[in-house]
Amino acid sequence: MLMIAKMRFFFFPAMAAGVLLMSGCQTSLPEKMGSPFKAIVKKIRKTDSAPAQPQNAPVYSGKTGTFSCGKETFSFQIGMIRTTFRGTNLWLPEAPGKGDNAFSPRMFDQVAAPLLAGGRARGTIRTVLLDPGHGGKDRGTLSVLKDREKDLNLALAKELKTQLEKQGFQVCLTRDDDRFIPLEERSPLAKKHKADLFLSIHHNAAGNASVRGVETFACTPGAGVCALPENTALAWQIQRQVAPPGSGLDRGVRFQNFVVLRTSEIPAVLIEAGFLSNASDAVSAADPAARRRFAAAVAKGVREFAGPPPKKIVKSAGTSAKGKKK
């Protein structure tokens, strides 16, 4: 019976949802209505009124400027590149000045607006191209445990492939063994693999051994062909999962003119997964369990960016009815 009731809604979903909305029933749905129905109503509600568009018009209070869009706000300090968005650190590509053009239109379009608008991808994300940094004659940095960055990058990329596949993505790699690939040849491989998203995987190093944590880089707005507002959204979604506010590991979303990012025509970020010059980070990088947790967090961030996976409605209705009997 449950299945038959559901099937009716699949035949007339828009009509049923429309009646509900017109009758003012917008806060709760009857218990008997299954989740696919709720999803349809949600979808219709979403498209029912156009979402608020971020506007480049900051409101100032002292040295703090704030953009608002719906319930979301993005704040910055005059003269400071460091800011946060929903608790995650973010280093602006340039320091905001004062007055109406304090925040350059390009920085607004590429950094603030995509976050205020929800941090989501514009198109469908099906295939992810992973790029384990370095390889072959280029070993990258060396950890305090004498592990080579190129090996740790590949190990993390392979684990990330598993975790992204669990999230429903197709995954390919720029290299799946120890070989050298010039930087300029990496992101163009996206065309060959028909990839929708590019993630470059690295580990960091610093002169100061106490420095640790994660950094996620997007291409500097205006550099190369990478002028995609989605880059900031993707970097932020990943950073807040791998280094949540309060974890002590959040070194922030940053902007850099890296070759692999500026040559990418699809949303692209570069993750510096930890400092191999720091003992704690070096141990984590070499530990398979820690690597799995890190990869699962990256995959969750990518899923948040991409939005819910497409559902085959009729098939899932059948499975859920069977599942309930058990």
Residue whose beta carbon is closest to Zn ion: 202
Least CB distance to Zn ion at residue 225 (A): 22
| Interface with Zn ion, residue 135, by CB under 5 A | no
Residue 110 carries which DSSP code?
I
| Interface with Zn ion, residue 202, by CB under 5 A | yes
Q: Which residue has the tokens 């993390």?
A: 156
Q: Which is nearer to Zn ion, 92 or 214 (CB)?
A: 214
Q: Which one of 133, 221, 267, 301 is in contact with Zn ion (CB under 5 A)?
A: 133
Q: What is the distance of C-alpha 37 from the center of its chain? A: 28
Binding mask 230-269 for Zn ion (x = CB under 5 A): ----------------------------------------
Cα Rg for the chain, rounded, in angstroms?
22
In the chain, helix, strand, coil percent, each to 5?
Answer: 40, 20, 40
| Interface with Zn ion, residue 274, by CB under 5 A | no
Binding mask 45-84 for Zn ion (x = CB under 5 A): ----------------------------------------
Q: Give the number of residues in contact with Zn ion, rule: CB under 5 A.
A: 3
3-state SS class at 173: strand
Interface stretch with Zn ion, choices 97-105, 131-139, 161-169, 238-246 (CB under 5 A): 131-139
Contact 238, 168 (CB under 8 A): no
Q: What is the distance of C-alpha 147 from the center of its chain? A: 28
| Interface with Zn ion, residue 140, by CB under 5 A | yes
Whats the size of the chain, residue-wise?
326
3-state SS class at 79: coil
* Separation of alpha carbons 49 and 46, rounded Å: 7
Interface stretch with Zn ion, choices 67-75, 199-207, 219-227, 306-314 (CB under 5 A): 199-207
* Separation of alpha carbons 80 and 321, rounded Å: 55
Q: Which is nearer to Zn ion, 186 or 300 (CB)?
A: 186
Point out which residues bind Zn ion (CB under 5 A): 133, 140, 202
